[in-house]
């Protein structure tokens, strides 16, 4: 994602310059650990706001406030209360500012560009037209603060949207029939674990944009049967995705 | 326990009487098992596309709901069932147990139960990659049934 890449490049460059200045004893003496931690947390926060993940975006701000409590004259601050207050603000912002989907059967409020970039559902007409899919063609899975299994039984599956935050989801694809080449699996996963159980003849292209996350594979892949092409895209932050071939 | 079988005339109702010193969970499970025998004889039809399948309930690992549909899962396949989950819960034999608001599992096929810190348990089945979660609310009943599994295994 272009914006994120520029943001993180600038932040890391800034951190590098500060470290260099400190090593060469140039300029003021800084509390480097605090500054670098704050810069990285700020990066996470801005990046989350860009993805419209307000809840995740506000939490690093609480930690930054805590790190700078002495210079800001807030020595007696109650960190627990501040985190709770900021978390509530984040939930409020998520409820207030999340864009509505144009199509009633699209529950997830993100669309995904083919290169894995997340965009607002209301910003791209081509993507919006593409979103008009029937019940048997598109499956939406949302999971927050819980664990669940989902078996997909669709007969003409073209797209699967997975939204998961602070939870765990196991999705079983072995009972569905794919009608698109490639099948799109769109992930919007934060602080969660997602397991995709897929048939062995699936050839999965990993196009996921991830931060502090990983995509791993388990099981044997078979290329003897007819291959089904699948494109895995979207965003992961602080999460793990496991693809299990059965 | 002494077991006595009596053949009665066709015009008399079939009755099972258990004479015991006290009502233990095992006796209660046995009574429930006998009560459910009549119901379990009603066949459940399984659907896949246009085809109807007549499977034994012993082949089924679990039933789960997906929006308005109920699916029965065998080790390697899944079939639609034209019934509500609560109707199945009342009609199924005693070796089926509710494990969440959206699933009923057969204790005969359960291979492992993995408990997590949140109280939700991951249930895995024998000779299948399929898994379901058992919610905290139904966990105690699942473990109670698992301890009674020997009653159902040889029937």
Residue A53 pLDDT: 76
Residue B45 pLDDT: 92
Share of chain B above pLDDT 70, in %: 94
Co-location of A87 and A116 in the same domain: no
Co-location of A39 and A158 in the same domain: no
CB A13 within 8 A of CB A6: no
Instruction: Give domain status of residue A44, yes or no.
Output: yes
Residue B37 pLDDT: 65
Residue A233 pLDDT: 93
Is the pLDDT at A46 greater than 80? The verdict is yes
Residue A109 pLDDT: 39
Answer whether B64 sits within 8 Å of A151, measured CB to CB: yes
Residue A97 pLDDT: 73
Q: What distances in angstroms separate CA A204 from CA A112, A138, A155, A198, one per listed residue?
A: 17, 18, 20, 10
Model pLDDT for residues B113-149, shown as the tens digit of each residue: 998 888 899 999 999 999 999 999 999 999 998 988 8
Co-location of A151 and A233 in the same domain: yes
| Chain A contact present for B105, CB below 8 A | no
Q: Report, as an integer, the average pLDDT of A3-32.
A: 76
Instruction: Give domain status of residue A20, yes or no.
Output: yes
Co-location of A69 and A122 in the same domain: no
Co-location of A160 and A58 in the same domain: no
A154-164 in b/e burial notation, b at 16+ Cβ within 10 A?
A: beebbbbbbbb
Co-location of A90 and A126 in the same domain: no
Answer whether B118 sits within 8 Å of A172, measured CB to CB: no
Instruction: Give domain status of residue A36, yes or no.
Output: yes
**SS3 category, A136:** coil
Q: How confident is the model at residue A30 (pLDDT cuts 50, 70, 90)?
A: low
CA nearest B123 in A: which residue?
A149
Instruction: Give domain status of residue A104, yes or no.
Output: no
Task: Give which of A141, A145, A148, A153 to mutate to test B binding, by max B Cβ within 10 Å.
Answer: A153
Co-location of A78 and A198 in the same domain: no
For residue A22, the enclosing domain spans 2-97
Q: Alpha-carbon torsion A137, A184, B134, B72, what sign? A: positive
Instruction: Give domain status of residue A130, yes or no.
Output: yes
The candidate with the shortest Cα–Cα distance to A195, out of A207, A203, A187, is A187
Co-location of A73 and A121 in the same domain: no
Co-location of A140 and A85 in the same domain: no
Co-location of A81 and A173 in the same domain: no
Residue A112 pLDDT: 43
Q: Which residues contact A121 (CB under 8 A, 6 or more apart)?
A: A99, A100, A101, A102, A106, A109, A110, A111, A127, A128, A131
Residue B72 token pair: 């029965």
| Chain A contact present for B132, CB below 8 A | yes
Stated pTM of the model? 0.64
Co-location of A63 and A89 in the same domain: yes
Shortest distance between the Cα of A169 and any Cα of chain B, in A, equals 10
Which of chain A's residues have a Cβ under 8 Å away from the Cβ of B131? Answer: 149, 170
Residue A121 pLDDT: 37
Farthest CA pair distance, chain A:
67
CA dist A131 and A109 (Å) reads 11
Model pLDDT for residues B65-99, shown as the tens digit of each residue: 988 899 999 998 999 999 999 999 988 888 899 99
| Chain A contact present for B27, CB below 8 A | no
CA B121 to the chain's CA centroid: 18
Q: What is the 3-state secondary structure (H, E, C) of A171-209?
A: EECCCCCECCCCEEEEEEEECCEEEEEECCCEEEEEEEE
Instruction: Give domain status of residue A221, yes or no.
Output: yes
Domains in chain B (CATH in brackets) are 25-153 (2.40.50.1020)
Q: Report, as an integer, the average pLDDT of A17-44.
A: 78
Answer whether A147 sits within 8 Å of B118, measured CB to CB: yes
Number of domains making up chain A: 2
Answer whether B78 sits within 8 Å of A148, measured CB to CB: no
CA dist B27 and A84 (Å) reads 51
């Amino acid at each position: 994602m272009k914006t994120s890449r520029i943001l993180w490049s600038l932040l890391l460059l800034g951190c590098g310059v500060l470290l260099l200045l400190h090593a060469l004893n140039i300029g003021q003496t800084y509390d480097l650990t605090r500054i670098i931690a704050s810069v990285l947390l700020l990066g996470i926060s801005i990046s989350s706001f860009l993805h419209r993940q307000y809840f995740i975006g506000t939490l690093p701000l609480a930690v930054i406030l805590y790190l700078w409590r002495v210079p800001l004259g807030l020595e007696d601050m109650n960190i627990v209360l501040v985190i709770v207050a900021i978390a509530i603000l984040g939930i409020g912002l998520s409820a207030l500012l999340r864009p509505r989907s144009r199509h009633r059967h699209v529950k997830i409020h993100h669309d995904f560009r083919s290169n894995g970039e997340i965009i607002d559902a209301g910003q791209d007409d081509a993507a919006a037209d593409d979103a008009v899919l029937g019940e048997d063609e598109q499956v939406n899975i949302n999971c927050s603060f819980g664990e669940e299994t989902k078996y997909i039984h669709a007969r003409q599956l073209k797209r699967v949207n997975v939204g998961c935050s602070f939870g765990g989801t196991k999705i079983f694809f072995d009972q569905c029939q794919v009608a698109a080449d490639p099948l799109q699996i769109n992930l919007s996963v934060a602080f969660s674990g997602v397991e995709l159980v897929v048939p062995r003849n699936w050839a999965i292209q990993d196009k996921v944009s991830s931060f502090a996350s990983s995509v791993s594979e388990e099981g044997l892949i078979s290329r003897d049967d007819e291959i089904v092409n699948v494109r895995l895209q979207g965003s992961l932050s602080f999460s793990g995705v496991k693809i299990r071939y059965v | 326990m002494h077991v006595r079988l009596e053949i009665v005339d066709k015009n008399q109702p079939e009755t099972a009487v258990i004479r015991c010193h006290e009502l233990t969970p095992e006796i209660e499970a046995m009574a429930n098992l006998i009560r459910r025998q009549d119901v379990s004889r009603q066949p459940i039809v399984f659907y896949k596309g246009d085809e109807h399948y007549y499977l034994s309930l012993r082949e089924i690992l679990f039933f789960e709901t997906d929006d308005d549909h109920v699916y029965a899962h065998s080790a390697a396949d899944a079939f639609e069932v034209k019934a509500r989950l609560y109707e199945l819960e009342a009609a199924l034999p005693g070796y089926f147990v509710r494990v969440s608001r959206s699933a009923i599992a057969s204790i005969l096929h359960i291979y492992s139960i993995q408990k997590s810190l949140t109280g939700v348990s991951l249930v895995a089945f024998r000779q299948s990659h399929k898994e379901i979660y058992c919610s905290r609310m139904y966990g105690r009943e699942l473990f109670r049934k698992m301890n009674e599994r020997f009653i159902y295994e040889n029937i």
